[in-house]
Amino acid sequence: MPYIKVNTGNKEVGFDAPEGISLLDALKNEGFIPETPCNGKGICGKCRVLVHNSVPYTPEEKKHLTPSEINKGVHLSCMVKLSDDLEVSLVTGDRNASIVTDANISGTNGRPVVRKTFVSLPHPSISDQRADDIRLISSFSENTSYIINQNGGFQSFFLSFLRELPGILRDKDYNITVVEISGKITGVESGNTVSENFGVAVDIGTTTLAAYLYDLNAKEQKAVASRLNPQRKYGADVISRIEYSSKSLRNQAEMSLLIRNALNDLIQQLVNQAGIQHADIYAVTLAGNTTMLHLLLELPSANIASAPFIPVLLSGLELKPCDLNLNINHNGRLFVLPSVSAYIGADTTAAVLSTEMHKKADISLLIDIGTNGEIVIGNSSFLCACSTAAGPAFEGANISCGIGSVTGAISAVSVTDNGGFEITTIGGQKPVGLCGSGLIDAAACMLKTGVMDETGRILDEDEWPDNSKIFSDRLITVNNQKAFLLVPARSTGHGEDIYISQKDIRELQNAKAAIAAGINILIDETRSDTADIKNVYLSGGFGSFINIDSAITIGLLPKEFSDRTRPVGNAAGAGAICALLSEENLSEICEIAKKIKYLELSARLDFTSQYTENMFFGTDL
C-alpha cells in the first residue's frame, strides 16, 4: 500500500492509501480538501499539488499546467494514480474565505417566531384538578388572545416536553415561562426566562455557510459566524455534489452529515460569542438553494440535475431539531424556507423577502450572481424569476488565475493615470488570483484601454491605441494563447504571474451573456421596460464586490441601471433573519414562493438569440 506524506504548509501528515486510486481521492479520503470544481474529471485543473517524487506526466495533464509548474513537479492530483510512496505539498490550501455576511434587515414587524411569556399558574387543589397540560393550555389562552393549535382536538406535543412538564411546573411554584413557536406551545421553562429568547438564521450557500444569532425580543443581532461549505471537497458546483450524493445512500447521508456538523459548529461559535446556552435557541430558519436544502435534508437530488429538473421538495418544511440533530433546545423548531424550482431556491425567496420588492409598487430587479445567476423581477402585483447557468467563471473557476473571494484575491482593478494597473485585494494581501469582481474590472480596463475589442478578442499590439502602448510588456503568451498580464510573478503572493488569457475572456463572455440574456427575457416576459425598473439589488458576495460601472462597461448590466443599482449583501441570510424575526414574514415567504412565476430558459427559443446578442461586450464605453 503506497504511503503518502503530505506537507500542508503547517504540518506534515502521513497515511497509507489504496493502490490504484487517484492521489486526489486519497487526499480527499484523509480530509485534505483541494478545490475541485470538476470533481476529479481533469477539467478544472484546480487540484494541483507539488509532488516531490518523479512522476511522469500524461499529455492530458500537461494541458492544464504551465512549463514552470511542470518544471517544479506540480501535478493535477486527480491525474496521478497511486502505485508507489509519494511525498506531496499542498499548493492551494484553504485560504481564509472572505464571506459576505452583511445582512440588510428591514420589515420585521409583528411577533418573532419564538415568543416567551411568563405566567404564574394557579396551584392545583382538590377544587382545581386540571392536569398539567390543561392547566398550561387554559391558563395561557386566558392570558392571551392566542389560539392554541389543535388538530381536531389532538395536541402534537413532543413526549420529551410532556415528560419534563410536571417537574418544570412545580420547580418554581408554578411560575413558568411558556414558549410558543408560530402559535403553538412547544416548551415550558421554570421561572422567568423571558429575556433569554434566541433564534438562528442560516444561509447554506454552495460555497459558504453563514449563521446569524438574534435576540428575538430585541430583534438584535448578537453574533455572526461563517465558514466554507465542507461539501466543497466533492466539487465546487451543485451538479458535482448531486452526482456524488446520488451514487449511494451512504453518500447521500455523508453529504447531509457534512452540513449538519458544520451547522452545529456554527451554532457552537454563535453560542460562545454571545455567551448563551444552546437551549436558549428555540428556532432556526434555513435558507439555501434547492440543491443545498436537498443535501441538508438527505433527500434524493438526482432529478434536480437533469431535465426536466424536478426537486423532491419545494414547500417550506417545519422540522424538529432532532430531525437534523441540530444542537438547539430539543423542544424548538426548524423552518426550512420554501423554494420555487430546481434552480430558484429558498435563498432567492429569502432574498426577495429581505428586499421587500414584493411589497413595492415600483418594479425591482434582484440579481444573485454565482455559478448560477438567479434573477427575479417584480413588484407587489407580480414576481417572475429565471436562473441562468452562468458557469463558475464569476467564482474563479475555469479562469486561469481564478480564485474565490478569499484573502489575496484581486477584487478590483483600475487604470491609473501614470499608465499602471491598480489592483485591490481582499484583506490587502499580496495577490494570489482573480475573483469575479476583479475579472470584470480587468476586462473593463482591457476594453477601455483598447487592448481588447468589443468581440472580446485580445488585440495584437499593433492594433492597440497609441496611448496604450505603455502596456506592451503585459501582452504575453501562455499555452499558445494570448494573455494580458495583470501582476507579474515578482509581485504576487505565490510567485507566479496573474494574467487573463483569451480563453478566460471567452468564459467571461459566456457568463455575462447568460446573465444579460436572463435579465432581458424577464423584462420582455413581464412586459416591463428597463426604464421602469427603479431598484436593482445585487445580492451575494460577488454583488458586494462588483464595480457597477465595470459591470455596465462589459454589458453585464444595462447602462440605465447605473444610478439605481446597489449591493444588498447576503440577502438570502437577511431573508432568513427576517423570517425569524417576524411570524408575518415566515408566512409571507411561503406566499412569495407560490407567487414567483418561474421561467425555464432552456425551454425558450428566445434564450439562444438573447444569449448570442449579449455575447459581445457593450459599445457604450
Contacts to a copy of itself by CB under 8 A = 124-134, 137, 149-157, 159, 162-163, 165-167, 182, 184, 297-300, 303, 307-319, 323, 335, 338-339, 341-342, 583, 586-587, 589-591, 598, 600, 602-603
Question: Could you give the 3-state DSSP secondary structure of residue 395?
Answer: helix
Nearer to a copy of itself, 312 or 459 (CB): 312
In the complex, least distance from residue 405 CB atom to a copy of itself, rounded to whole angstroms:
31
CA distance 218 to 558: 41
Nearer to a copy of itself, 85 or 591 (CB): 591
In the complex, least distance from residue 587 CB atom to a copy of itself, rounded to whole angstroms:
4
Nearer to a copy of itself, 319 or 459 (CB): 319
Nearer to a copy of itself, 132 or 560 (CB): 132
In the complex, least distance from residue 517 CB atom to a copy of itself, rounded to whole angstroms:
18
Q: Which phi and psi (to 5°) does residue 564 adopt?
A: -130, 15
Nearer to a copy of itself, 261 or 268 (CB): 261
In the complex, least distance from residue 263 CB atom to a copy of itself, rounded to whole angstroms:
16
Nearer to a copy of itself, 319 or 389 (CB): 319
Measured between its terminal Cα atoms, the distance across the chain in Å is: 60
Nearer to a copy of itself, 331 or 553 (CB): 331
CA distance 380 to 359: 4
The two beta strands, 409-415 and 421-425, are: antiparallel
**DSSP letters spanning 341-375:** BTTB-HHHHHHHHHHTGGG-SSEEEEEEESSSEEE
In the complex, least distance from residue 598 CB atom to a copy of itself, rounded to whole angstroms:
7
In the complex, least distance from residue 261 CB atom to a copy of itself, rounded to whole angstroms:
17
Nearer to a copy of itself, 168 or 369 (CB): 168
In the complex, least distance from residue 497 CB atom to a copy of itself, rounded to whole angstroms:
44
CA angle, corner 197, sides to 192 and 198, nearest 5?
160
Q: Indicate the Cα dihedral angle 228, 234, 238, 242, nearest 10°.
A: -140
Task: Give whole-number Cα distances, 150 to 139, 147, 157, 205, in Å.
Answer: 16, 9, 10, 36
* Long-range contacts formed by 168-175: CB under 8 A, 24+ apart: 169/121, 169/132, 169/135, 169/136, 173/123, 174/120, 174/121, 174/122, 174/123, 175/118, 175/119, 175/120, 175/121
Contact 354, 104 (CB under 8 A): yes
In the complex, least distance from residue 282 CB atom to a copy of itself, rounded to whole angstroms:
15
SS (H, E, C) 571-593: HHHHHHHHHHHCHHHHHHHHHHH
| DSSP classification of residue 79 | G
